[in-house]
């Protein structure tokens, strides 16, 4: 019965490879979906940042007073950009929650499988002990069968010899039957001879019957224990296969958990960078001094752009740069960097000339 499972380890290995591939493909699809969801608000945020840069470039005054259209437009653009990035951060937060829930579920499943495996391993040890016991009993009865067969052969030989001697004695008796009637000579010895021969013959016949009975009993026990051995060999094979399946599933879960851990680290990094960008935008929205307005915006705009670049890099690590190119984010980033260089050049010129731009 064990031979029927020879293919099982190979099948498990092939299935494991297939499931690992499917797991990686599924994880890639999930990450791609996440990245696609993130690109919407990110692209809007980048465009808002680009619009803000263009507004600052088109402004000729150094001081932007509250209440003027330019001031309101700049503040509105910053607030919209902050709103888009907050939306992006919430997407990342929800994804982290989903990853944590999936990790918790897989960890619980792994613990259950490991407990199930340990229980099955304990059952396997008991099954092996019972199998060894049945094999030992089977061997004992097989040895006993050989002994009883030898006993039967010996008893049958003895019975044949006694029957032969009986037949020879009968012939001799028939030849000398007249002696039986001689007073005080043939009668008593002949009767004693006949009685002793019959007793031995009956005893020998009983030994043959007992040997045959023992052979039948041994054969019956051999059949019973052979069935038990086959039965428990099947139980042992099934338990071993169950343990192999558990190992396979545990290994699969560990691979998933490793993948989830890497994914979570990447998503958490993206979420952290998004939060920092939101914080920088919050600083821009919180500027209160009119005299410092444009200068602070020019100074604080660069950290925001750096955060946006870091967010793009983090998003690229999630799914690669293909999505960034396909969604047009890279083009917006290039335009944003160009505007930032122009703004930096303007600041440098203003500093060198010690004059207003």
Instruction: Yes or no: say if 87 and 93 are a contact pair by the CB < 8 Å rule.
Output: no
pLDDT for the residue 239 = 97
* Structure confidence at residue 81 as a pLDDT band (50, 70, 90): confident
CA angle 323, 328, 330 (to 5 degrees): 85
> Which of 176 and 193 is assigned the larger pLDDT?
176
> Which of 203 and 307 is assigned the larger pLDDT?
203
Span between the terminal Cα atoms of the chain, in Å? 91
Q: What average pLDDT does range 170-197 have in this prediction?
A: 56
- Output DSSP code: residue 160: H
Dist CA 80 CA 284 (whole Å): 12
Instruction: Write out pLDDT tens, residues 9-51.
Output: 545 555 555 555 555 555 556 655 655 566 677 778 777 777 7
Dist CA 313 CA 107 (whole Å): 30
- Output DSSP code: residue 62: S
Q: 184 in the Ramachandran plot: left (φ > 0), alpha (ψ -120 to 50) or beta?
A: left
Dist CA 75 CA 318 (whole Å): 32
* Structure confidence at residue 353 as a pLDDT band (50, 70, 90): low
């Amino acid at each position: 019965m064990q031979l029927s499972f020879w293919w099982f380890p190979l099948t498990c290995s092939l299935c494991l490879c297939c499931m690992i591939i499917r797991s990686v493909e599924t994880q890639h699809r999930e990450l791609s979906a996440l990245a696609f969801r993130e690109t919407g608000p990110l692209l809007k945020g980048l465009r808002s940042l680009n619009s803000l840069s263009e507004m600052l470039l088109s402004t000729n005054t150094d001081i932007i007073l509250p209440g003027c259209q330019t001031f309101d437009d700049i503040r509105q653009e910053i607030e919209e950009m902050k709103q888009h990035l907050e939306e992006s951060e919430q997407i990342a937060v929800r994804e982290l929650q989903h990853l944590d829930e999936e990790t918790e579920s897989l960890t619980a499943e792994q613990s259950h499988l490991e407990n199930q495996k340990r229980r099955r391993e304990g059952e396997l040890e008991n099954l092996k002990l019972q199998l060894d016991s049945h094999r030992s009993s089977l061997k004992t009865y097989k040895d006993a069968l050989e002994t009883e067969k030898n006993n039967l052969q010996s008893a049958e030989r003895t019975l044949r010899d006694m029957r032969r001697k009986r037949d020879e004695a009968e012939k001799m008796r028939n030849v000398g039957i007249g002696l039986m009637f001689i007073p005080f000579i043939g009668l008593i010895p002949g009767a004693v001879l006949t009685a002793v021969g019959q007793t031995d013959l009956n005893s020998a016949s009983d030994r043959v019957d007992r040997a045959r009975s023992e052979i039948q009993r041994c054969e019956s026990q051999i059949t019973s224990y052979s069935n038990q051995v086959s039965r428990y060999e099947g139980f042992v094979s099934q338990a071993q296969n169950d343990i192999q399946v558990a190992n396979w599933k545990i290994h699969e879960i560990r691979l998933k958990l490793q993948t989830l851990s890497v994914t979570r680290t990447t998503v958490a990094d993206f979420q952290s960078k998004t939060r920092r960008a939101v914080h920088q935008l919050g600083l821009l929205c919180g500027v209160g001094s009119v005299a410092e307005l444009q200068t602070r915006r020019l100074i604080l705009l660069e950290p925001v752009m750096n955060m946006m670049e870091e967010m793009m890099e983090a998003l690229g690590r999630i799914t690669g740069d293909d999505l960034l190119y396909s969604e047009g984010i890279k083009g917006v980033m290039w335009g944003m960097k160009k505007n930032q260089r122009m703004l930096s050049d303007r600041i440098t010129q203003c500093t060198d000339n010690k004059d207003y731009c």
